[in-house]
Every structure is written in C-alpha cells, then in structure tokens.
Chains A and B, each alone.
Chain A
Amino acid sequence: MEDIALKDLILYMARALVDEPEKVEVNAVEGENSVILELKVAPNDIGKVIGKGGQTAKAMRKVLSAAATKLRKKSMLQIVE
C-alpha cells in the first residue's frame, strides 16, 4: 500500500489541466496520519486548476482523499501561485 503515489496523482491531473505543464510542482509533507500536498502552477493557470466556482479543486481534493483513504490518512491539497 505504501507505494500509493499521491504526489504523482496530483502532478498528473494538474499537468493535464494547465497550459504550462512544465511549471507544475507538487510538494508533499507527510505526517503520521496526514499528508499535505502543495500544488504550484503558473499564475495564468491558477483558474484552470481551481475551476468554475472551485469545482475542479474540489474534485481533485475528492479524488486525492479517496486515494489517501487507502493509506488510512487524511489529505489536504493547497493550491499556491
């Protein structure tokens, strides 16, 4: 189970959404019971990863939390410029 790739999961989804995939970065901070992922994209791509009314960010968080459930962890996704 340990090889569930939360960071790669977010990287892959974010890169498919944006215009500048080479500028996408993800940092993961793993705790005992939690994992925090920090997603960084080009300023012009912020809107694409957040989506209309925040829908895309919400969907990404949902998919991430399903994946984290398998690790018995809480997940958090922060989007930064």
Chain B
Amino acid sequence: MGGFTATGETYEAALEQALQRAKLPKEALEIHTVGGLGEKIDERHEREEDNTGVTLHVAIRPEHIAESARAALLRILGYMRVRVEVRTVVEGDVVCLKMRSQESALLIGRNGQTLEALQHMLNRMCGRPELGAPFIALDVENYRERRLARLERLARHGAREAVEGQKEVELEVMSPADRKVIHMTLRANPQVKTFSRGDEGDRRVVIAPA
C-alpha cells in the first residue's frame, strides 16, 4: 500500500505534520510507526517512552476515498437526475465504484467516453495520488469486463481471418488503450503479427500473417 511518512520530535508533532499534509481528520488515516515492532503508534504513545523522534507511516484509508468518491458521484448524478445504485469495492490499490442504473447507456456514453470522464473527475476531485491513495475506478454493470471480452474476441477472430485468408485484417478505429488490448491478446500467437496504422483519431490495429 502507498502512503507517506511524517516525522516529529514527539508523537503529537509527527501526527500534526501528517494531518496538515493530508488535510484530513485522523479517522481517515491509517497510522503506523516505521520500523520498531510494527506496533500501532497509539499503543506506543501510551507508554510515553522515547523522546528522540517519531517517524510515522501514514496511509489514507481506502474506505475514506471510497466513501468520498461515492458521495461525489451521487451528487453529480443527482444534478443530472440519474437514478443510480452505487456499490463500493476495495481491491488492493484500487477503489471500485460499481453502478447500476436504468440509464446505463447515458452513463457509459459512446465508446465509454462518459464513463471515462466521470472516472477522471472523481480522481481529480477525491483522489490523493500524491499521498499514495488508491485509484478510483468506475464501472457500470460490468461494462469494462464485457468490453474487454469483446476486444479479445475481435482480436481472435481477426487473427483467424488473417491466417486462413493469408491477408492483412484491419480492425475498427480504437483508442490507444483498446489497441493495446488487441496487441497483448495476440502477442503469444506465433501465426500473426500486429501493428497500428493511421493517425490518432483514425488509428487501427492491423493483424497480418507472420
């Protein structure tokens, strides 16, 4: 897990520094001493020993990020009058907000552009990457999973066509991220090679027999 360190002559001073840097209440943070026995600073503090300086390792609780992102998302969608159910799932260094809505098509947008835009806004508004806080990922009814599956299917079909017809197969225009999925899917296939062609905005993956 990411995080940052704060130091001070005393526990209070180190804590003060941590709180000022994070600009968050103590409850939003996970605070540990660095080194030592890994005991919680609170316990150590109670023993009132060692005044030679304290170093804290501080991480923002993923649950705090998840809750603030969820609140911001509900508020944005409230202004848009979109009814939505939002579930938060914390997965390692990613906080995922999973939405369900009658208006999922509006939330996704053409090629997922609206979903990407909402995700970008939430990370700008609620994310704290400079403090090692988790990334905020947004999904609607497993849209990302379904999209990934579709890209992999396109890649495999294209490869079969290229091999069987011994010709180049040009796929539809895709974003850099989507093109990468195609390249990665076929990287281990010795029968074909892949490359991209065209200018950004009209750039496509080409699958050719190896």
Query: A8 with B79: in contact, given A63-B114, A66-B109, A70-B106 (CB under 8 Å)?
Result: yes
- Number of contacts between A and B (CB, 8 Å)? 62
CA of A59 to CA of B122 in the docked complex: distance in angstroms? 10
Within 8 A of B (CB), among A27-81: 48, 51, 55-56, 58-63, 66-67, 69-70
B124 interface neighbour in A4, A56, A70, Cβ under 8 Å: A56
Shortest distance between the CB of A19 and any CB in chain B (Å): 11
B81 interface neighbour in A1, A13, A61, Cβ under 8 Å: A1
Check if A59 sits within 8 Å of B76, measured CB to CB.
no
For B177-191 the 0/1 string (1 means CB < 8 A from A) is 000000000000000
Shortest distance between the CB of A42 and any CB in chain B (Å): 17
Query: A60 with B81: in contact, given A16-B72, A66-B106 (CB under 8 Å)?
Result: no
Contact partners of B116 in chain A: CB under 8 A = 59, 62
B142 at interface (Cβ–Cβ under 8 A)? no
The residue on B at minimum CB distance from A56 is B124
B80 interface neighbour in A17, A60, A61, A70, Cβ under 8 Å: A70
Other than A4-B81, A16-B126, A59-B116, give 8 A-B pairs with Cβ distance below 8 A.
Answer: A9-B79, A9-B80, A56-B121, A59-B118, A59-B121, A60-B117, A66-B106, A66-B109
Residues of B within 8 A of A (CB): 72, 75-76, 79-81, 106-107, 109, 113-114, 116-118, 120-121, 124-126
